[in-house]
Each structure stands twice: as C-alpha cells, then as structure tokens.
Structure 1
Amino acid sequence: MVALGEDGMAQSTSHLALPRRGFLIGASGLMLAGQAAVAAPRAWREHHRPKGDGASPTDWSQLAKALRNGQLLRPDDPDFHAIVQPNNLRYDDVLPQGVARCGSAADVAAAIAWAREHHVPLVTRGGGHSYAGYSTTRGLMLETSLMSRAAYDPARGVLRVGAGARNRDLYRLLGQHGRAMTHGRCPSVGAAGFLLGGGIGFNMRAHGLGGDQVLGSEIVLSDARLRRASPKAQDKLDRDLHWASQGGGGGNFGVTTSFDLQTFDVRGQRVTVFDLKWARDPDTPCKVPVERLGAQLMAALDAAPPSLGSRVSFEAVKAAELDNGFDVNISVLGQYAGPRAELDAILAPVVALCPPNAGRGIQEFHYWPAQAFLHEDGDTTWYQERSAFVTRAFGEDDLGAALQYLRAKPPVSGYCDLRFFQTGGAVNTPGARDTAFVHRDSRWLMVVGLYWDQNDQEDARRMARAHAWQDAFYARMRPLAGGGAYQNFTDPSLADYRQAYYGLNLERLADIKRHADPADLFRFPQSI
C-alpha cells in the first residue's frame, strides 16, 4: 500500500490513513455520457440534491484548512464560476456549495473524509467534459486540475501524470521528448476520464486504446487510503483495481490521482493528415448515391492497415434543404502514419467514384504539427450523443436505413449526424477479459449526435422533437451495429447500460466494487 507524506505525495511506506467515517458520495470520477431528455433526468436530479443538514460556515473553514496543497472556493469567490462551468451547458445551472481544488492525493483523501463527516455529496471534476453532468453537483466538487504534474522517464519511455492533467499538458510534455500515446484531439479533456473509460484516438488501431497503455495508477478508495494499482502488485485488490482501471469507467471504485503510461517514439515520423468532404449541394457534380459513396469510403478505410485512423461523419439535412437540391454531406478526418502516396492509394476507389469537393485537403507533417491540424477546440455547448460498437462491415443497406433520419434533421441550430470512429487493429488485440474494456471485436464506434444552442434549449417543444428524432434514429441503427455501448459516452437512457458498457466483464467488476467500496459510497445513476 502507498502512504501520503506531509506534502501529499505518495511514499513507499506501509499503512497510513485519514480517519474512517461514514459518508455519502455522489458520482466521482470523470464520466462521459449522453442524456435523453431536455431537463436533467429525475434520477440524476435526485442524486445531486444536497442530503442531510449540510455544512456550516465553520465546517467549510475546516475543509479549507485541511487542503494543505490546494484551496477551497465558495460561490462568492472570483474563480468559482469559471471553475465549475461544465463543457455540456445543459448542466450549467447545477452549482456546488464549494469546490475543493485538490493539489495532492492527501487533499483528495481529506475532501472525501470531510464530505463523509458532513453528509455532503461529492463529485470529481477533471476536464469537465462529462456528457451527463456527472462532474457537477449541488454538494462538494473535488476539482483536480492542480494535480497536473507530469514527468517523463526516458529510460523506460514512461510518462507519469497527475489525474488533473488535461490533454494539452500531455501534448506539451510528449512533444518535448518526441513521444506519443493514444490521445484525443480536444486539449481541455481530462486525462483521467479519458483513460479510465478506455480512451479512443487516431493512434488506437496501431497502438491500442489509451487505457491499454496504463502501466499502473494510484487511487484513493472510500476508506481514504491511497493504493497503488498495478498488474504485479502483491495485494489481489491492487491487481484487480489495475484491471478495472483499463475500461471500468471513472467514479466506480474511488478517485484516481495519477497514472503511469507507456509511450512510443514519434521522433522524425512523418504523418499524413486529411480532412475531406463530399458536399451535396445544387452545384455538386457527384451523382453517386450517398449510401453507395459512404459504403465505399468505409470499406476502403476498413481495409487499410492499422497505421490509419479515421472518423467518418454523415451530416443530417432538413427536408426543406432536400427540396432545394441539398443532401447528406459526408466528411472524413484522420491520420495515416506513412507518405501521402500510400494514403492516396487507400482512397483511390472512393475518389474514382466521386472526388471530394470541400475540406482542408491532405497534408504531410511531423507527428506533433500533424496533431495541430487535427486539433478540436471542444467549446462549451449543448449536446447529447448515443453510441454503439459496430462489429461487422457496414454496407449500402445499413447506410440506406440511416438516410430516413439523416434526411429529416430536427429543427435545431446545431450539428446533427451519424458518426463512425474507426476501431479494429490493436484495439482488438487483447481478449475481451484481458482488461475491463470488453469491446474487443469492433470495426467502428458509431454515434448518433445531436447538438443545439441556447435558443433551442429554451424551446421545450422543439427539443422534444429533436430528442424523439435522435431516439428513433438510434433505435433503428443500434441493432445493425451489433455491439455494446462506449462507457466514456455513457447514455442514461440505456435500460441495459451495465451489459452494454461492460458485457461479460460486469460480474468481475461488480466483485471488485464490493471489495474496493463495500458500502457503495462511490455511486451515481449508472455506477457498477
């Protein structure tokens, strides 16, 4: 077991813990999810309602003193609202009573113990990109951005990173050393949530998921003890916690405070990046049916070597736009670890049918400049996404079924689409039971996406129509996909979410949960 020193950092001594006290905790960790209703679901609202008598001003002062390496923010403090704003603005009105900005694992343990003593619900906030608002609360927010310290060990090629690090922190350090890992494109996404739920990115077909590159981690459990999880730990629970950290999702077992990550060399590597679009408008010369062109594109990408990673999007259009000569646009974004000539050969069958007529084109860069081309800001907005893994080839008939919905976009101002993140390759190398991430037989991760703005949000009737469209679309496409759902895109409307996220690993995860958190203190509407 790992102990906490006076500075809150881990030390290799035996047993040290803060006082054990019964306490109530909400959804802890960095969860990514989708919602199916305009308002927050009732179960979510009830879960985040303050419980007990709450804490007095004196109690909050005690917490502030206990955070030796961090700070406490209350609603009147200048930085409070900037810190608590979530990426999904559907939950912007859910404000905590206080924010414990934790600078160490000792601060995390102190915040957990305080919330337990005063019966204040607790959630963890990393990057704030929880699709379902699981990193917002009306109790205590445990905010981890101060725990963003990272260090690289060149002898082993291992990156140790604090759980509060964002993607941008990883980019900066990895770029300095000519190293990489499987990472996302949005710089503000938190590393912990990304890794604990699996971690998809354009490198995953060649190098596996981000979670597959986790060598070990440190986690504070409900007994306020810090444990070192690794595959060769002496204690079985620590070995189990490592297994669960690779796809078991955030917030189920405790609060993870750091990770050791295996990296790979990208010094001197040339990467071909591409952003291509087949825009369908009255002036487009392409007469190939949308479903045929889309199927050809997906088949060409599916047959490509694992050094290619891509995302394909079919953009929904409104019925009135169809009448004016517009149709479903197809776009593809991605990278190929090789020269442009080889990428051109991969895409040749698609280009022969119909050349792309929009997008930023194809360019070659060294690895990290290439990531700047692929960069996505991830600005705050209103959204919901629903996912399913595709376990077989997706052909014209499958895409034809989607056109009924793609050609009837709901009356919202935001982007609506059917999206496919390319999986396969090294994602499927481990067995389904080798890590907690069970989805090891897929070719694509499919998403039915719905985005909207504030004017839409304030129109209940309009949003009801939009969600009905998304639900019907998803119900039509999910059986065609054949696989489960992605636990980092958690979807509260899934009645079978445990099976969809964890499949045949659910029983083992539940057993680990019973041992790591016997009182079920770390819980939220979709916890294990």
Structure 2
Amino acid sequence: MERTKLTGRIVTPEDSEYEQARINNNLSIPKFPSKIVFCQKTKDVLNALRWVRENNEAFRIRSGRHSYENYSLVNGGLIIDVSEMDKITIDHKGMTARIEAGAGIGKVYKKLWKYGMTIPAGTESSVGIVGLTLGGGIGMLTRPFGLTCDNLIEIEMVRASGHKGAELIKANKNENSDLFWACRGGGGGNFGIVTSLTFKLHNISNVSLFSVSWKWKDFEAAFDAWQNWAPQTDENLTTQIELKSKEAGEIISQGIFVGSASKLKKLLRPITTAGSPTSVWVKEVPYIEAVRFFDVPSGNQPALRKRSGSFIEKPFPPKAINRMKHLLANAPNRNSSIWHQSLGGTVSKITSHDTAYYYRDAIIAQEYLTTWESSEEEKQNIRWIEELRNTLSSFTTGDYVNFPDQYIKNWPIAYYGKNFNRLREVKTKYDSFNLFKFPQSIPPYNRWI
C-alpha cells in the first residue's frame, strides 16, 4: 500500500521561518516540533492525519496560536496548522457564513462588517475562530447574541477512521448531533480537526461604547457596584471590568451597548455614581470601530505569560473583594490584573446540558492574568496566579476551558461540570483510538490519562 505524503506548506527546523512558525502566543512554555504543516485545503488536513497515523507520529492541531498552556504544540512531533485555511463565504440572503477554521476573528469581523453583519466572538484579533468557538466563545456581544458556539449551525471535521485512515464529516443538529453538541463548549483538539464552521449572522450597525475609570482607593466601591449591576442590566449591554495591580493603580470598566448613547448614559448610573470616577465617556460608533477599540495589541503579541480563570455565580461578599485587593496589592508586577466580563442575558436562556458549555448560570467570567520580562520571574508569577485562584475558590466555580491551567487538579469537572461523562461518550465514539490527546484532553471510556 502506498504511503501518504504530506501536502501543504511544510516547515522544518532547517528552514529560516521555523522559529517564527513554531512559537505560540505564550512564550513561557517553548516547544520544538519536528515539522509544521500549514494546510491550505481540506486535502492537506486529511493527508496530515493519515501521515501521522501511518508513521505513529505525535501531533497537535493549531489555528490561532492562543492555547494558553501551549497544548497546540508538541516537542519532536508534527503540528497540523490550519491558519492558512481562512476563506469566508457569506450567504447574505440566508444570513449565514461559512468560515474556514484558520480565520482570525479580526478578519471575520472585517469581512462580515462589509455586509452590516457580525457574530458574537472575542476581542483579540489574532485569536482563531475555531478554538474560540469550540470552547464556548465569550465576547462583547455575548449578552444580546449569546456565546460564539450558540450561533454555530454546522461544523466540518476531519476525524480518524479505520486502521490508518481519515475522513471528512459534518456535524449539525440533524447529522452527528452528538458531536455537534460536544463541539459547542467541549474545547479544541479533542475529537478531530475542524476545517470549517457555519454560523448564523446578526445585523449590526452603530453601537454605543463606554469607559469608566477609578483610582485604587475606589477598588471596593467600583467592583461591588459593577458586579451587582453588570449581569442584571439591559441584555443589549455587555461589560467588563479590569482590576489592575496596585502599582498600575487603575480600575476600568468598559462595554458595548447595542443601542443609543443617550440610553446607555442612563443605564450606566449605578456605576458612574459609585466612588469618584476619574473618567467617564460614552460615544456612539460604527460597530467596526468598537471592534478596534477592544482589540488590545498586547494580547495579540507573543509574551512570557500565565493565565487562569473561574466563573462567578453570585456576587462576591466584601471578604472576597478584599482578597482580590490584597493579592493585587502584592502582585509580582504592574502587568498583573484580574479581568471580569458580565454574562447572563442570552447565555443563560440555554440550559447547562443543551450544549457542552456547562456554566450557563454563571453571572461573570473571571480571568487572572500576568506577563513578565525574564525567565527568572516565571515562578513568582505562576505562584501568584495559583494563589489567586486558590484564595478565591470558595467564592467561585469551575474554569472556562479557553482559560486552561495545567495546575488545576480536577480539570475535567472544572471545565465541563456534569457534562464531562457525556463528552467522554462522544470521544469514545469519534476517537476511540485517543489519537487527539494532550495533557488536558478528554479521554475515551476505554482509556484514561
């Protein structure tokens, strides 16, 4: 039988572009693959999967390079990278878009904006649409339009088949519906290689932006006002609040309202009257300008970084707010922060079992972030993130699978709650060989980690 050949753009350690090709957004966990295949079409993906099976080669799947723990990289193996498969086909009349798996959300927003449409997705432009969607997809239109995965209609996926084969399948509400369920919150890289996603679209034109800032002295007042208001306000308003280190000394809340600036000003009163804001502004802009506003360049740049997170199901008591303040007062550097986004709205209208994304009752998503400059600083930064997560654990629940943390011991329950067993059933059916594996991948029932 003739052996499969790799096709697409192949980069090896001998090539001048290898260094750039191998790195991800997180530089703190370096990996050195033996080959990186940049697939340009579905055939390249099929060939790559057949090749790794025939050669018993370790491999990982990659699109946007934003896997926080670098689970999309492996030492000495093959990376199947779909980032050069990024075509977007829009059905204007049917209000749907078929988006290839390598498209970054910045490109998706720009293309859809030409038609006055969008999907709810994240904020950093270089994040890949596929990883974002498979984990759920939280962003600044979450409350009116739901998670990114809630707007998914169909996926195309290359899965392992037979002894050494690969095949392209579809999953939607009628075909492979169990896989479709799992791909809406079950995380990236678990079941196969997604090659395209089809979404329903939403009309969008002008939106209203706001920004409110406070100094460190208003830490408690600002956060408490925000947490009791943000998940309950008009569902056309999605907001965030970032609590920065004491050294940076700023608390800042921002958001997008699908509505007028005059109405937004009224909606903001519960937070603009909290403490003594140093800056308050509201303006109405074309949606694409709001996209640019929230696209923080530093988040797109590779750096030495650590992130983790959790969900909040009921407002923090003063004790929990004080713990956050204490840890931010003793942060390892000024770039350390705690970020929160309001949930509720459309997200909570779907039950925890309707999709693999489990935390439908959460009112807030919380992310812990830090970056550093030299490798000597790594341990203290990681220790700070872990202390933060552990200290707040009695007030929080779980973790968002797109904020993975290798130090979470009971990660299956943290990411997937009561949906984990059903995810294992889907894994057993579609990848019983456990080919698609990494340190926190879903195991089939015939194997464990």
TM-score, normalised via structure 2 length: 0.92
Q: How much does 1:273 deviate?
A: 0.9
User: Which residue number in structure 2 is paired with residue 525 of structure 1?
Assistant: 439
User: Which residue number in structure 2 is paired with residue 302 of structure 1?
Assistant: 231
1:381 aligns with 2:303: yes
Q: What amino acid sits opposite 2:319 in the alignment?
A: D
**Structure 1 counterpart of 2:172, from 223, 230, 239:** 230
For the 8 Å contact 1:294–1:396, the answer to whether it is kept is: no
Q: How much does 1:328 deviate?
A: 4.6
C-alpha separation between the residues in 2 aligned to 1:478 and 1:328? 25
Q: How much does 1:355 deviate?
A: 4.0
SS in 2 for 1:486: coil
User: Which residue number in structure 2 is paired with residue 263 of structure 1?
Assistant: 201
Structure 1 regions of 5+ residues with no counterpart? Answer: 1-18, 22-58, 281-286, 319-326
User: Which residue number in structure 2 is paired with residue 336 of structure 1?
Assistant: 257
1:203 aligns with 2:123: no
SS in 2 for 1:120: coil
User: Which residue number in structure 1 is paired with residue 209 of structure 2?
Assistant: 273
User: Which residue number in structure 1 is paired with residue 98 of structure 2?
Assistant: 160
Q: How much does 1:279 deviate?
A: 2.6
C-alpha separation between the residues in 1 aligned to 2:294 and 2:41? 33
1:250 aligns with 2:214: no
User: Which residue number in structure 2 is paired with residue 292 of structure 1?
Assistant: 221
Going from structure 1 to structure 2, the CA distance change for 1:387 and 1:105 (only over 3 Å counts) comes to same
1:73 aligns with 2:7: no
Q: How much does 1:222 deviate?
A: 1.6
Taking the TM superposition and a 5 Å limit, the aligned residue runs for 1:66-465 are 66-67=6-7, 70-91=8-29, 93-138=30-75, 139-223=77-161, 224-233=166-175, 238-266=176-204, 269-280=205-216, 289-317=218-246, 328-358=249-279, 361-377=281-297, 378-410=300-332, 412=333, 415-453=335-373, 455=374, 457=375, 459=376, 462-465=377-380
> Structure with the greater relative contact order (CA < 8 A, sep ≥ 6): 1 or 2?
1
User: How many residue pairs are counted as aligned between the two chains?
Assistant: 435
C-alpha separation between the residues in 2 aligned to 1:342 and 1:85? 45
C-alpha separation between the residues in 1 aligned to 2:153 and 2:393? 33
SS in 2 for 1:221: strand
SS in 1 for 2:366: strand
C-alpha separation between the residues in 2 aligned to 1:425 and 1:258? 28
Taking the TM superposition and a 5 Å limit, the aligned residue runs for 1:450-489 are 450-453=370-373, 455=374, 457=375, 459=376, 462-481=377-396, 483-489=397-403
C-alpha separation between the residues in 2 aligned to 1:187 and 1:307? 22
For the 8 Å contact 2:214–2:251, the answer to whether it is kept is: yes
1:491 aligns with 2:405: yes
User: Which residue number in structure 1 is paired with residue 445 of structure 2?
Assistant: none
- Identical aligned residues as a percent: 27
Q: What amino acid sits opposite 2:233 in the alignment?
A: A
C-alpha separation between the residues in 2 aligned to 1:432 and 1:451? 33
Q: What amino acid sits opposite 1:495 in the alignment?
A: K
For the 8 Å contact 1:273–1:374, the answer to whether it is kept is: no
User: Which residue number in structure 2 is paired with residue 505 of structure 1?
Assistant: 419
Q: How much does 1:404 deviate?
A: 1.9
Q: How much does 1:87 deviate?
A: 0.7
Going from structure 1 to structure 2, the CA distance change for 1:307 and 1:395 (only over 3 Å counts) comes to farther
Structure 2 regions of 5+ residues with no counterpart? Answer: 443-449
User: Which residue number in structure 1 is paired with residue 446 of structure 2?
Assistant: none
C-alpha separation between the residues in 2 aligned to 1:208 and 1:353? 28
Q: What amino acid sits opposite 1:437 in the alignment?
A: Y
C-alpha separation between the residues in 1 aligned to 2:227 and 2:435? 44
SS in 1 for 2:111: helix
C-alpha separation between the residues in 2 aligned to 1:166 and 1:290? 35
Deviation by residue 1:44-94 (Cα, 9 ceiling, x = unmatched): xxxxxxxxxxxxxxx9xx73xx41xx2212222233322222111113x41
For the 8 Å contact 2:42–2:195, the answer to whether it is kept is: yes
Q: What amino acid sits opposite 2:207 in the alignment?
A: V
C-alpha separation between the residues in 1 aligned to 2:64 and 2:384? 30
RMSD between aligned residues: 1.9
SS in 2 for 1:225: strand
Q: How much does 1:190 deviate?
A: 0.6
Q: What amino acid sits opposite 2:305 in the alignment?
A: Y
Deviation by residue 1:341-368 (Cα, 9 ceiling, x = unmatched): 2222222233233342248x33210222
C-alpha separation between the residues in 2 aligned to 1:300 and 1:341? 18
C-alpha separation between the residues in 1 aligned to 2:78 and 2:380? 35
For the 8 Å contact 1:292–1:396, the answer to whether it is kept is: no
Going from structure 1 to structure 2, the CA distance change for 1:355 and 1:336 (only over 3 Å counts) comes to farther
SS in 2 for 1:464: helix
